[in-house]
Amino acid sequence: MRHKPGVELVAEANTAYWRKVPSVKRIVLRSIPDDTTRLAVLKRGEADVAFALQGPVAEEVRQRPALKLLPVMLGAIASLDFPEQWDAKSPWHDVRVRQAASLAVDRQLLNDTELLGHGRVGGALVPPEYEFSLDLPAAAYDPERAKTLLAEAGYPRGFEAGDLTPIAPYFSVGEAVGNYLRAIGIKTRLRMMERATFFSMRREHALKGVILGSPGMSGNAATWLDGYAMSWETRQWGGDADLDDLFRRQGGERDRAEREAVLHEIQRRIYNRVMLAPLLQFAWLVGVARRVDEPALGLIQTFPYSAPYEDIRLSTR
Buried b (16+ CB within 10 A) or exposed e, 75-94: bbbbbbbbbbbbeeebbbeb
Q: Which of 213, 286, 280, 212 lies closest to 53 in space, CA to CA?
A: 286
Q: Do residue 100 and residue 249 come from a single domain? A: yes
Parent domain of 18: 2-73+283-314
Q: Do residue 91 and residue 216 come from a single domain? A: yes
Domain count along the chain? 2
Q: Do residue 124 and residue 99 come from a single domain? A: yes
Q: Do residue 64 and residue 154 come from a single domain? A: no
Q: Looking at the chain, how many residues does it have? A: 317
- E strand or H helix at 58, and its extent? helix 55-63
Given this model, what pLDDT does residue 235 score?
64
Q: Which residues have CB under 8 Å from 283's CB, separation 6+?
A: 71, 72, 73, 74, 115, 118, 119, 120
pLDDT in tens, 266-290: 999 999 999 999 999 999 999 999 9
Q: What is the domain-level CATH number for residue 296? A: 3.40.190.10
231: which strand partners? none
CA distance 124 to 289: 34
Residue 253 CB neighbour total at 10 angstroms: 15
By the 8 A CB rule, do 8 and 28 touch? yes
The DSSP symbol for 165 reads E
Q: Do residue 150 and residue 181 come from a single domain? A: yes
Q: Do residue 147 and residue 240 come from a single domain? A: yes
Q: Do residue 11 and residue 140 come from a single domain? A: no
Q: What is the domain-level CATH number for residue 258? A: 3.10.105.10
Q: Which residues have CB under 8 Å from 50's CB, separation 6+?
A: 32, 35, 38, 39, 41, 42, 61, 286, 287, 288
Q: Do residue 92 and residue 241 come from a single domain? A: yes
CA distance 98 to 275: 8
256-272 and 221-228 are packed helices; what angle lies between their axes, rounded to 10 degrees?
40
* 3-state class (DSSP) for residue 261: helix
CA distance 165 to 208: 8
Q: Do residue 199 and residue 86 come from a single domain? A: yes
Q: Do residue 22 and residue 111 come from a single domain? A: no
CA distance 242 to 244: 5
pLDDT in tens, 162-192: 999 999 889 999 999 999 999 999 999 999 9
CA distance 119 to 69: 14
Per DSSP, helices labelled H in 170-311 are: 171-184, 195-203, 221-228, 241-251, 256-272
CA distance 261 to 300: 28
Q: Do residue 54 and residue 138 come from a single domain? A: no
The pLDDT tens digits along the chain (317 residues) read 788 888 899 999 999 999 999 999 999 999 998 899 999 999 999 999 999 999 999 999 999 999 999 999 999 899 999 999 999 999 999 999 999 999 999 999 999 999 999 999 999 999 999 999 999 999 999 999 999 999 999 999 999 999 999 998 899 999 999 999 999 999 999 999 998 999 899 888 899 999 998 877 788 999 988 877 777 776 667 788 899 999 999 999 999 999 999 999 999 999 999 999 999 999 999 999 999 999 999 999 989 999 999 999 998 76
Q: Do residue 271 and residue 309 come from a single domain? A: no
